[in-house]
Amino acid sequence: MKKRPPATPTEAILESISDGVFTVDENWRVTSFNRAAEEITGIPRKEAIGQLCSEVFKSSMCGIACALRETLADGKPVIGRSGYIINGDGRRIPISVSTAVLKESSGQVVGGAETFRDMSEIDALRQELAGRHRVGELTSNSASMQRVFEILPAIASSPSTVLVRGETGTGKELISRTIHDLSPRRNGPFVAINCGALPDSLLESELFGYKAGAFTGAAKDKPGRFALAKGGTLLLDEIGDISPALQVRLLRVLQEKIYEPLGSTKPEAADARVIAATNKDLLQLVKEGTFREDLYYRVNVVQVELPPLRARKADIPLLVQQIVERFNRLHAKNLPGLTPEALSLLMAHDWPGNVRELENTVERAFVLCPQGSIDISHLPAEITSRQSEQSFGTTIQHAHNLTDSQTIMAALKRNNFNRLAAAKELGIHKTTLFRKIKKLGIELPEKDGRTR
Amino acid sequence: MRIALAVLNNRIAPVFDTARNLVVVEDEDGKASQEISLAEETPVQRALYLAEIGVNVLICGAVSRSLYAMIQARGIAIHSFVSGDLADVLQAYRDGRLDTPDFAMPGCRGMRHRQTGGRPGGMPHACRKRRGWE
């Protein structure tokens, strides 16, 4: 076998750096692909060389937004352009690219070079700091959330006030941010205020702001949340907790679109799209007389109902996976996830605190688990104590059944309800599949996907 | 059966999330096809749009998990991580040979490879088996 010639200094450098580098010829075929490029994309050099760069790289910029195409056209290098690539698992990996033109000694352009950096860590930390979640990551397997997703674009594009209803920890703020990001106001500010956390007097000054000298301690003008949200979206969380006096003021702002900061008689224009959120039954509060009926109808123009986690248990495995990945980044660990037994217990729990409780539970387990998979021993008592209420066996069995039927249903859907294909995909014999379908009581539609 | 193929320069577009052109074919008469422009939109909107125009099968390149799940949830069958010239891919689909390495994107051809990608757990890429992601 022919011995490989020793690496040139350039090759050695390219192999040692952590940024991916690849070069292409005039036909956009990959001519070189360094080690970091292999690692970030997950594609071995052998499979990349000679292929169209866009098919290897799979980036959000491939096509009209291609940085290299731009550079080859105008000769100007692109530095640090952001985008993402999609890896073989369908995960978006945020990257930053830079380009250069490749010329031979005569000055003739022979191709291009592109360098890219994996921005996952930085991106994740930045988002954690900002308290945001990527819009593209909002996903669910359950029908109840699909219904919410269906109406989001329409809600976002209209300027109407939205009321988001859901138990604590169901993601009311996340959905509100998503509505903002989908709306024409997406480039404007997103401002949130928790109306339940502040006493009335403070809430008033927070919402409307104040002028210098409005009260003792008001040294200078302070803009209220309405002002800060100008051109953007304002989330009024726990709106059911506002006092009747403040309800009147809020009603006026929503109707007239003007308000006065404390200590000022000059009205300011309110230019914020309002989203109200609550975990209470506002209509009930209206009946009890603690919430104004006219404010209720002003706020409840469009309603979004977020289902509790126990109504969308199919999403628990997916959510857990996302949470584990996030904590892996933050705690610089590399835990693969949960054992099937631990996951089954999570599936069996009712989650009164919904997604937030799930996040807390997984985070606590994370701290307790030094390495390897998170197991039952790492889960808190509230989850594991179900064992003492019912016999351990039936809880686990029930949870197993739930996960099984969801896995089977998903496989059937993917194969157009063709049982044979689904069984093949799941790696079980078709009679086993038929038996499981019968035992778990899975309902199948009329069509059976058999090829004619 | 309405088949949609995401295209770029007469080949399957490499990334469905950002693809701008769709070729839609009615499988029964085979010949009739139309080109549709896709807007720059969020995954949710894209999945809804496909369902709206009655697509039954989508053939595309790389697609992110969440978009894949949303399209699938609407009952559309997806053949993802496909590459090749439009006509060849369409013919391969009709002949049932789309799932072969010939039409798989680089990195998805089933070649055994050390665990990479930097993902926690370092699983080999799902696109090799062209399964859905559980």
Taking only the tens place, the pLDDT of each residue in A310-348 is: 888 888 888 888 888 888 877 777 888 888 888 888 988
Mean pLDDT of the residues in chain B: 81
Query: How many CB atoms neighbour CB B55 within 10 A?
Result: 22
Contact between B120 and A91 using a beta-carbon 8 Å cutoff: no
Confirm if A327 and A363 have CB atoms less than 8 A apart.
Answer: yes
Buried b (16+ CB within 10 A) or exposed e, A359-369: bebbbebbeeb
SS3 A73: helix
Q: What is the pLDDT of residue A390?
A: 46
pTM of the model: 0.55
Q: Is A152 on the interface with B (CB under 8 A)?
A: yes
Distance from CA of B120 to the nearest CA of A (A): 5
Strand segments, DSSP code E, in A18-152 are: 20-25, 30-33, 81-86, 92-103, 109-118
Taking CB atoms and an 8 Å cutoff, what residues of chain B touch A411?
Answer: 132
Among B48, B72, B107, the residue with its CB nearest the CB of A47 is B107
Report whether A169 contacts A353 (CB < 8 A): yes
Instruction: Say yes or no for a CB contact (<8 Å) between A88 and B127.
Output: yes
Query: Does residue A146 sit at the B interface (CB-CB below 8 Å)?
Result: yes
CA distance A60 to A84: 6
Give CA–CA dist A345/A313, Å, rounded: 12
pLDDT tens digits along B106-124: 988 764 333 333 333 333 4
Mutation pick from A29, A55, A322, A415 vs chain B, by most beta carbons of B within 10 Å, is A55
Quote the distance between the C-alpha of residue B43 and its chain's center: 14
Q: Between B72, B109, B116, which is nearest A413 by CB?
A: B72
With a CB-CB cutoff of 8 Å, which residues 355-384 of chain A face chain B? none
DSSP state of A273: E
Q: How far is CA B56 from the centre of its chain?
A: 12
**Chain B: nearest CA to A139, how far in angstroms?**
5
- The residue with greater pLDDT, A326 or B59, is B59
Contact A451, A420 (CB under 8 A): no
Chain B: nearest CA to A82, how far in angstroms?
A: 14
Average pLDDT rounded to a whole number, residues B40-57: 87
Mean pLDDT by 10 residues, chain A (452 residues): 71 91 94 94 93 95 91 89 89 91 87 92 70 51 75 86 92 89 89 91 91 84 93 95 92 93 90 95 93 94 91 84 81 83 89 90 88 87 64 52 70 81 80 80 63 50
Closest to A28 measured CA to CA, from A62, A1, A79, A5? A62
State how far the Cα of A111 lies from the Cα of A259, in Å rounded to an integer: 60
Q: Does A86 touch chain B if contact means CB atoms closer than 8 Å?
A: yes
Which residues are CB-contacts of B35 (< 8 A; sequence separation ≥ 6)? B21, B22, B23, B24
Nearest to A45 by CA among A64, A21, A28, A69: A21
Nearest Cα of chain B lies from the Cα of A42 at a distance, in angstroms, of 5
Q: For strand A222-223 and strand A302-305, is the pairing parallel, antiparallel, or unpaired?
A: unpaired
What Å distances lie between residue B63 and A89, A129, A209, B16, CA to CA?
Answer: 9, 28, 46, 5
Cross-chain CB nearest to A43 (options B75, B107, B121): B107
Half-sphere exposure (Cβ direction) of A57: Cα atoms closer than 13 Å: 34
**Burial degree of A86 (CB within 10 A; 0-12, 13-18, 19+):** buried
**In the prediction, which pLDDT does A92 show?**
87
Per-residue model confidence (pLDDT) at position B120? 33
Average pLDDT of every residue of chain A: 85
In degrees, to the nearest 5, what angle opens at C-alpha A269 toward C-alphas A187 and A223?
75
B107 → chain A, closest CA residue: A43
C-alpha distances in angstroms, A379 versus A25, A282, A360, A366, A371? Answer: 54, 36, 11, 9, 15
- Contact status of A271 with chain B (Cβ, < 8 Å): no
Radius of gyration of chain B (CA): 15
